[in-house]
Structure 1
Amino acid sequence: MAELRSWPALALSDTRRGVAFTVGRTKIVRVTGEDEVRLRLTAPAINRLQPHLRDCDQVESCADRAWVAVHVDAELDLDLLLALTSVAIKAHTP
């Protein structure tokens, strides 16, 4: 989380569900558990990345098709989370 706090495009907010990060007024990152983070990538971005995401055990679809859950268990998972957060920022920046 310290890494994400340093990104100028993201604003930290505490919600009743835990820590979240927003771009503008749009929540794009939600920490939902000790080892799970949800990212709002948007359905078009997920569709573009689908060939890569479906082979990744650390990423799973959410009921809301604009979101994915990323399971962060190791350093490489954190790298994946940061890369996908960058995609989420781009998808929500005009």
Structure 2
Amino acid sequence: MTLAQRALDRLTGWPDLTAAPASCGAGRALRSVRAEIAHFHSGRDVDLHLTRRAIQRFHYDLGGSSAIHLVPGSCWVTVHLDCDADVDLLLSLMSIALKAHQTSPSPAASASNGCNFHRVTVLPGNAAAEG
């Protein structure tokens, strides 16, 4: 079982989340009543819809993690799962995302752009160190 599948299995047990096909057309999504929150694109990569406000609030913390990829102008972050600690990070960020969407102005405002799929290339840890 991949790390992403393990995380998806854990998160589908959360009462506020429902699994569905991802609106970007790649993989599975988890959504709340208000919006899609996560897209599971591969066995290791998950896009998480944090909202612009949450990304601004946690920008320095997010940027300090090797598991997180920020795309300028996007309200989504890409989480690359390499180990169990990255899964724990994803679960923590999911809590932040759910809270952010509860207080966001409207679903339409928070979904102003799509996830990072096709906008991000995440290299395996050893390939990034070689380049």
TM value normalised by structure 1: 0.92
Identity of aligned residues (%): 34
Equivalent pair of 1:23/1:93 in contact (CA under 8 Å): no
- Does 2:1 correspond to 1:2? no
Give 1:79's match in structure 2, choosing from 81, 88, 91: 88
SS at match of 2:74: coil
- Tell me how far 1:51 sits from its aligned partner: 1.4
Higher strand share: 1
SS at match of 2:55: helix
| Counterpart mapping for 1:1-94 below 5 A | 1-15=8-22, 16-62=25-71, 65-94=74-103
The one-letter code matched in structure 2 to 1:50 is H
- Tell me how far 1:32 sits from its aligned partner: 1.3
**Deviation by residue 1:18-54 (Cα, 9 ceiling, x = unmatched):** 1100011411100011100000000110011011111
The one-letter code matched in structure 1 to 2:84 is E
Decide which structure has the larger Cα Rg and report it: 2
Extract unaligned runs of 5+ from structure 1: none
The one-letter code matched in structure 2 to 1:33 is S
CA distance in 2, matches of 1:64, 1:36: 19
Write out the 4+ residue segments of structure 1 that deviate beyond 6 Å after TM superposition: none
The one-letter code matched in structure 2 to 1:53 is L
Extract unaligned runs of 5+ from structure 2: 1-7, 104-131
TM value normalised by structure 2: 0.67
